[in-house]
Structure 1
Amino acid sequence: MGSSNQNRDWLLQVYQSPRSVFGLADIALLTGESNPISLTKKLHYQIGKGNLKNPRKGLYAKPNYDPAALACTLYTPTYVSLDYVLQKEGIIFQYDSAITAVSYLSRALEIEGWQIKYRKIKDAVLLNTNGIISNENGIHIATKERAFLDMLYLNGNMYFDAINTLNKNKVLNLLPMYASNVLEKRVKKILKI
């Protein structure tokens, strides 16, 4: 009976966390379990019972996890940006169900039916937190202005359906981190500055 209560208490600690995707070290810190073998056994038991998911080796998730949290946890540093943000903000209308993120590598993955696309960007941009919102679920997401600049920087010339919602001052404040004269010219032409 004591073991069953400990398992329930342990799982309750995971469920009470605002995060939905965890690495092994995250769960160890959250639950206070210092024995990695014991922790792994507990995790696999909960996965077998359907209380947790194992979307990728070394990652564990609540059953209804946020795929954007998975994208940010799988490779770090990473932030969600590009098409994903621009679609949600109504700046581009063409629908793509993939989660697009910026990281230190370029890669496309499918995990549990979710398409996740990573685009590599230089460290000076990746590690700069201006224009990135981080929430308690472990999701780091670009503002629409940052996503707009990331898209132009990585893809060159693009068509945007509704740029009138962009804050031009925010765009101009973020622009220097890219250190690109070509990008600066593109932005000024598109925004008619």
Structure 2
Amino acid sequence: MSSSQINKNIIFSIYSKNKTVFTLTDIAMLTNESNFKSLNGKLNYYVSKGKLFRPRKGIYVKANYNPEELACVLYTPSYISLDYVLQKYGIIFQYDERMTAISYLSRSIEIEDRTYVYRKVKGEILVVTQGINRIENINMATPERAFLDTLYLNKDYYFDNLNPLNKELVYGLLPLYNSQALTIRVNKLLKNG
């Protein structure tokens, strides 16, 4: 197979997937390419031609990539939560265009005029997948998990509307955090809300 055919197979393999964000390792596995240096060179060629984009070192995206998908790949493991999810479900009304996520570190980065904010939680909380939905390569907290994540990280937080929350699900997730202070805050809010 010629070099040109291999290159076309790489780009075809990437664009034939529903996924819009790839790490170098993802592409290596997708194309069965074991030579990372060679693969990186080929991918850099596609970046220079505008067929792929590289928002961060080692991460490649298609044109019109999904920013939610990128948020889950920038730092792994991570999942979208906090204000972004609360806003989406009408639990808070203040508009904030930042993409907020939970991860193993606290960090704020800007990519193409979008800010991605990561907040750190303990590893034993982060790795539990209960209350996190994985849909089309995106890990996103349920509104109940986002509510608990927010209260866990911010003891004095104002919620505009608690009606969308399923209280049974909130209380089912509460033991994951192993926090008496959080339990007291949740009981107070849900009793009054």
TM-score normalised to the size of structure 2? 0.95
Give a deviation string over 1:165-184, Cα, whole Å, max 9, x none.
Answer: 10000000000010111111
Identity %: 56
Structure 1 CA distance, aligned partners of 2:178 and 2:59?
35
Structure 2: gaps (5+ residues): none
In the other structure, the counterpart of 2:19 is 19
Structure 2 CA distance, aligned partners of 1:104 and 1:155?
17
Query: How many residue pairs get matched?
Result: 192
In the other structure, the counterpart of 2:141 is 142
1:120-131 → structure 2 map (5 Å cutoff): 120-131=120-131
In the other structure, the counterpart of 1:72 is 72
SS in 2 for 1:156: coil
Q: Flag as ranges the 4+ runs of structure 1 deviating above 4 A.
A: none
In the other structure, the counterpart of 2:85 is 85
The alpha-carbon deviation at position 16 of structure 1 amounts to 1.5
Amino acid at match of 1:155: N
In the other structure, the counterpart of 2:53 is 53
In the other structure, the counterpart of 1:183 is 182
In the other structure, the counterpart of 2:160 is 161
SS in 1 for 2:50: coil
Tell whether 2:109 aligns with 1:109.
yes
Structure 2 CA distance, aligned partners of 1:31 and 1:90?
42
Structure 2 CA distance, aligned partners of 1:44 and 1:145?
41
Structure 1 CA distance, aligned partners of 2:136 and 2:91?
26
Structure 2 CA distance, aligned partners of 1:16 and 1:146?
33
Amino acid at match of 2:9: D
Structure 2 CA distance, aligned partners of 1:8 and 1:91?
46
Give a deviation string over 1:74-99, Cα, whole Å, max 9, x none.
Answer: 11111110001011111101011000
SS in 2 for 1:60: strand
Give a deviation string over 1:43-65, Cα, whole Å, max 9, x none.
Answer: 01111111100000111111111
SS in 2 for 1:163: coil
Does structure 2 conserve the Cα–Cα contact (< 8 Å) formed by 1:157 and 1:186?
no
Amino acid at match of 2:67: P
The alpha-carbon deviation at position 116 of structure 1 amounts to 0.4
The alpha-carbon deviation at position 2 of structure 1 amounts to 4.1
Does structure 2 conserve the Cα–Cα contact (< 8 Å) formed by 1:106 and 1:120?
yes
Structure 2 CA distance, aligned partners of 1:165 and 1:27?
39
SS in 2 for 1:164: coil
Give a deviation string over 1:144-164, Cα, whole Å, max 9, x none.
Answer: 000000000101121111111
Which range moves more in the overlay, 34-43 or 4-13? 4-13
Q: Over aligned residues, Cα RMSD in angstroms?
A: 1.4
